[in-house]
Amino acid sequence: MSLRRRIALSFGAAAILITAACGSMVDADAKLMLGFPGDIGPTDVPAVMALQAMEYDVRSTTCIEFGSPDVQSQALLSGDINLASMGPATVMSANIVGADLRMIASNNKNDLLVVAAAEITQCSQLEGKPVAYHSDGSTSTAHLMSWISDECGASPEWLVISGSSNRTTALINGRIDGTIVRTEDWVHCLRGVDSDAHVLAELSESQSELLPKTIVINIQFLDDNVEYHQQFLEALDEQFALVNADPEAYAEMAHEYLPNMDPDALAEIYTSLSQQGVFPETGLLGPDSVTQTIDFYEESDTIESGLIGPEDVAIYDILER
């Protein structure tokens, strides 16, 4: 089966999710199509709503949820989608082996939390304690290892527990003493639960310049879509302004795209994300944050050192083109 055929089949499977999550049906003639590597979450809604807001200016916009980052990457490389919400390490790794992808905006800033049992009040107390991470190669694991290295250099008893919400549950139930989780899972899992587990560190503070998720294009198709990309970035900044101005009101709008989430929990999640500064004033990228992110992934051995620079993976002047 050809790669193009596999992508087409993935589109068909993902289309089932579109109506509930993204608010419009997949259209083969869409002028702008935004992909996500999996189910959208609270940090993704501003990008989805930015796309929806563009329907007045762009004939037929849509978004699509893929079953895996690999399928999403292939869709972007082949031109089946115009934009993708993607982790920087994926972009860097793809370009190292010959792709031509570029980050053009931040989807959100770091929303990861280091959380711990009640008796753990500082990094050094994690020494020898059971601490869980997602997987050896995951982005969140690299962030956790970096934080521990910078803070205290402790050597915990490492455990693998896939899924941010699963790790939160394990901590609440006393199976582990520490872990790294996303804010949305932490807030959601603690609602109505009697637990003394607490936040040890908000990585939005200590790792504020690192890019956890970005909006990415295939530069080969930039000239054909630059006007639409510019409109999208302007609409995205408007969404960031809305959520930061009134997180609870934004949560009410976001519930349409996240119908399975409790509305009160969603309001708490957006309030917490806004207070952490997870939604930037502008999504536009700067060379400093891209350079620091490259350095971070090189130091964590996620990508090989010295093979790419900030100009190889990002565009900074797209609104001026």
pTM, whole model, 2 decimals?
A: 0.85
> For the chain, which domains are there?
3-109+211-320 (3.40.190.10), 112-206 (3.40.190.10)
The reported pLDDT for the residue numbered 136 is 85
Q: 67: pLDDT confidence band, cut at 50, 70 and 90?
A: confident
The reported pLDDT for the residue numbered 61 is 79
Q: 42: pLDDT confidence band, cut at 50, 70 and 90?
A: very high
Hey, how many other C-beta atoms are within 10 angstroms of the C-beta on 321? 11
The answer to whether the CB of 311 falls within 8 A of the CB of 281 is: no
Per residue in 234-268, pLDDT (tens digit) is: 999 999 999 999 999 999 999 999 999 999 999 99
Per residue in 158-196, pLDDT (tens digit) is: 999 999 999 999 999 999 999 999 999 999 999 889 999
Higher pLDDT, 30 or 164: 164
Per residue in 93-123, pLDDT (tens digit) is: 999 999 999 999 999 999 999 999 999 999 9
The reported pLDDT for the residue numbered 56 is 58
Q: 320: pLDDT confidence band, cut at 50, 70 and 90?
A: confident
Per residue in 139-150, pLDDT (tens digit) is: 899 899 999 999
The reported pLDDT for the residue numbered 246 is 98
Rounded to an integer, the average pLDDT of 197-205 is 95
Q: 3: pLDDT confidence band, cut at 50, 70 and 90?
A: very low
